Amino acid sequence: MEAFELLADPVRRRVLELLADGERTSGELSDVAGREFGISQPAVSRHLRLLREGGLVEARPVGARRVYVLRVEALRPVGDWLERFRRDSFPPLDALATEVARGKRRRRLAAAAGGDAGGSTAGETVAGAPAVVAARLPAPPPAPVVRPQEQR
């Protein structure tokens, strides 16, 4: 199976999420998947086998148990594919993140200099986002005009 096919199943995605935090035994993975998805240990084992065969995880025996670990490099093609969309679709969000970081830095510097750490500084909106960002946002669409129906 290809990585995208393996990621299509919510149980397998959850297993990968758990393994992203570090290695886990098959028993730990079965307990979580069983509790969250209501599936049996043999069903979880089938998902683990598919992930192993697909190269997304590795298993090694430790005593009588199997310990699973995520193979991050096997997910690289998925990340590369998604990066195309992130890069093309979200540049305004990158700019917003930069402006928010600048605002945080200004507040931190003002607080260190003895200024008002909690309040807005000049050039910022009430929510704390820089006014420059708000100026770049498109205006909301006009509200639809609702007219009463004519009497006949």
On whether residue 142 sits in a domain, the answer given is no
Cα distances (angstroms) measured from residue 8 to each of 34, 52, 124: 18, 15, 43
Domain span holding position 10? 3-76
Whole-number pLDDT of residue 90: 61
Whole-number pLDDT of residue 125: 46
On whether residue 63 sits in a domain, the answer given is yes
On whether residue 144 sits in a domain, the answer given is no
Whole-number pLDDT of residue 27: 96
Distance between CA 49 and CA 139 in Å, rounded? 52
pLDDT by 10s per residue, the chain, length 152: 789 999 999 999 999 999 999 999 999 999 999 999 999 999 999 999 999 999 999 999 999 999 999 999 999 999 888 888 776 666 666 677 888 889 888 988 988 888 654 444 444 444 444 444 444 555 556 666 655 665 54
- The residue among 48, 50, 54 whose CA lies nearest residue 67 is 48
On whether residue 109 sits in a domain, the answer given is yes
Distance between CA 115 and CA 104 in Å, rounded? 13
On whether residue 71 sits in a domain, the answer given is yes
On whether residue 47 sits in a domain, the answer given is yes
Same domain, 9 and 40: yes
Whole-number pLDDT of residue 46: 97
